[in-house]
Amino acid sequence: MLDNSSENIKKDTLWKIIESRDASLERLLKECHQASENHVTLLEKLDTANRSLAETQQQVNYLAFQNSNLLDNLAATQQEVEKLKSINLKFQNRVAIYSQTLNELNFHNFQIKQHNAELKNQLNVQQENLNSKYKKIDALQEKINSLNASVETLQIGRVAFKQVIKSLLRKTKTEKLLTIYKKLVNKSSSNLEENQEIISPKPELDTSSVEEESRVESASVKVNLISDSTEALIVLRGVTFNNELDIQDVSEEPLRFFSEIVSKPSQILCISPDARMASLIQALAYGGAEVFCFACSPNLAISLQTVGVKMIWQDLGSWMVETQQTNLSEFDVVCLGQNPSLVDWALLHNRLSNNTKIITQADVQALNPKDFNLHQSLFKSWEVSNLTFNGLKLYDSPPSNWKDPLDIISPLHQYQQWPWHDPNIRIPSTLPSGKPWPKISVVTVTFNQGKYIEETIRSILQQNYPNLEYILIDACSTDNTHEILGRYKDQFAHCIIEPDKGQSDALNKGFSLATGDILAWLNSDDCYVPDSLFRVALAFDRYVTDMVAGGVQLREDFCPTPFKVHHSKLPFGEVVPLPTEQLLDLDKCWQQGHFFYQPEVFWTRELWERSGGKVREDLFYSMDYELWVRMSVNQAKIVHIPEPLVAYRVHEKQKTYGDDIPFLPELTSVRDQFLSIDR
């Protein structure tokens, strides 16, 4: 019994041990299964880690390669640095040498200045002494000239007086009263007073006409010794080189012509005189006329200067610009010698008044302009003069197309208010040549220029040019520009308000709309001066040319008075090729101001299309310069007229304002591109 119980206890214990082991085994199996799953996971992670390691190794290898390259570059850079250090050291040595040299030069310059100051003081003393002597010489010369003039005037007047008396005696048939005549001109006799009466008895009767002569009674003849006719006779006598000129040898019309000249103080323009013409203007100068003489030989100039003729040694165009006398209508008489240049002829064209008298020795009909770039209209309207005297051709008025067609009647102060005052100009219906006024297309592009844009717009519209096409392109300005444009919208041919890619893009938009024969663009801060478009149209009608350039008035912001008037170095009044070589010479020509400002240039549609028909849109500063060079490469011809055409405003907001010359790199690049093409 006890044994069975003990046996049972053992069995129970054994089962418990078995159950415990089974539980442990089951737990171990679970742990083994979990470990197996963990092992798989670890293998996956290991695989991922291996792949990451491989990628990292690749990156390490790539970085090592880059590092090697960087080390090589660093070594090369260090070598360059060493070279640059060596070069810099050489430059420093040179700078030191140059500095020393500069100091020596400054010292020498100081010594030279001191020496120059001493010399200047000595020169001033000598100049004062010389001026004092010159004044004495001038005073003596004036006395001599006065005496010579008095002597010659007395000689001319005495001979002319004799001729007047002779003619009067002949006309009254009292020439036999020679004793009276001799007494009148005898030095010992008393002076003859003005309007003194000469009492002549009844002359002898001709037996062949007794009845007619019997009716001749004693007569008294009024002789006005100081009259326009007498003065004119003296002038004509000077032209003939003949002391025996008689009043009856002069027809009525030449005497009337010269009487009108001497009847009032005259301004006379003389070009290329010969001896006969010089005698004429010398006589006119004696009579008080103010004479300006161009292209005169030195020998004639000496004699003419003694009577007060003003000798001008410049060409006519340069003188017109320097004196700002571009309109020649103030001259009462124009005297032209036998060989005036065709350039001077062209400069007279459209610049004379209706009352300007012409005296010329040139045979206008024989002039041949075929070899010159001048329009036939310069000559076709000249007619053979019916009024001549001793080889001189006399015209009471210039041909119609030589007169200034713009009858400007506004006073000067109203022009000073331009463009806010509308000048009163009588505009002819056609050009003087009879052709219609050509269409001129002007393009203005703007962005936020409300401060200036209205003056620009008015300066174009107030031209009152009869065939104007004005195109304005605005890049969506955010200032008051839109309000200003609204006031003039009905007067634009086109007004486009939209974003653009810059000034050149906007210009190309504008020119693509233009239909004019003549093209130009005016910046939104500049102004045309009065009559600019008319002067341009007249120039294109007068010359056979592709381009017209005038002058430019440089003004400080809103100041109405220009501080300078700029003209290019191109000759005045002569059609010449636009010179490519000089355009490309930036240092000696372009940067020295030898060429024109952009707003003063006008060109033909044909040249525009021949030169590509657009401006380069990749340029910010130099699109105009590039266009001029392109036009010159395309054989453009240009004429330079004396009139200023535009007021160019200088102000701080300009792209090119200041001393740092921001446009120079771009300008140089454009130049180099054309030079590379030439090579």
pLDDT in tens, 163-215: 556 555 555 555 544 444 444 444 443 444 434 443 434 444 444 443 443 33
- Domain membership of residue 9 (yes or no) is no
Burial 213-243 (b: 16+ CB within 10 A, else e): eeeeeeeeeebebebbbbbbbbbbbbbbeee
- Do 589 and 455 fall within a single domain? yes
> How many Å is the Cα radius of gyration of the chain?
48
> What are the structure tokens assigned to 319, written together?
């003188």
Q: What CATH code is carried by the domain that includes residue 662?
A: 3.90.550.10
- Domain membership of residue 558 (yes or no) is yes
- Domain membership of residue 408 (yes or no) is no
- Do 193 and 233 fall within a single domain? no
- Do 491 and 633 fall within a single domain? yes
- Do 168 and 267 fall within a single domain? no
Q: How many residues does the chain have?
A: 679
174, 178, 222, 228: which is closest to 201 by C-alpha?
Answer: 174
At 459-477, the pLDDT tens digits run 999 999 999 999 999 999 9
**What one-character-per-residue DSSP string does 171-198 give?**
HTT-TT-HHHHHHHH-TTSPPPPTT-EE
CA dist., res. 209 & res. 215, Å (int): 11
pLDDT at 423: 63
- Domain membership of residue 204 (yes or no) is no
Residue given tokens 């000034």 in the structure block:
503
Q: What CATH code is carried by the domain that includes residue 325?
A: 3.40.50
- Do 379 and 457 fall within a single domain? no
- Domain membership of residue 271 (yes or no) is yes
Question: What is the number of alpha carbons within 13 Å of residue 287 lying toward its C-beta?
Answer: 32
pLDDT at 366: 58
Q: Which residues of the chain have pLDDT under 70?
A: 1-3, 96, 98-111, 113-115, 117-118, 121, 133-134, 138, 143, 145-250, 363-384, 407-417, 421-425, 653-662, 678-679
CA dist., res. 407 & res. 442, Å (int): 24
CA dist., res. 597 & res. 550, Å (int): 9
> What are the structure tokens assigned to 551, written together?
């002058």
- Do 234 and 159 fall within a single domain? no
Which residues, in sequence order, are bridge partners of residue 547?
603, 638
- Do 236 and 373 fall within a single domain? yes
- Domain membership of residue 42 (yes or no) is no
- Do 386 and 339 fall within a single domain? yes
> What are the structure tokens assigned to 181, written together?
């005549």
Instruction: For residue 626, give Cα distances in angstroms to 24, 253, 586.
Output: 99, 59, 12
Count of domains observed in the chain: 3
Which residues, in sequence order, are bridge partners of residue 388?
393
pLDDT at 496: 96
- Do 465 and 391 fall within a single domain? no
pLDDT at 285: 86
Structural domain span for residue 628 = 436-678
pLDDT at 616: 95
Q: 352, 379, 402 — which closes off a domain?
A: 402
**Please, are residues 238 and 156 in contact by the beta-carbon 8 Å criterion?**
yes
Beta strands in 427-532 (DSSP E): 440-446, 468-474, 494-497, 518-521, 527-528
- Domain membership of residue 25 (yes or no) is no
- Enumerate residues 6+ apart whose C-beta is below 8 A from 156: 234, 237, 238, 283, 286
pLDDT at 379: 64
Classify residue 143 as exposed, middle or buried by CB count within 10 Å of its CB (0-12, 13-18, 19+): exposed
pLDDT at 418: 74
CA dist., res. 78 & res. 421, Å (int): 72
- Domain membership of residue 212 (yes or no) is no
Question: How much of the chain is in helix, strand and coil states, percent to nearest 5?
Answer: 50, 15, 35
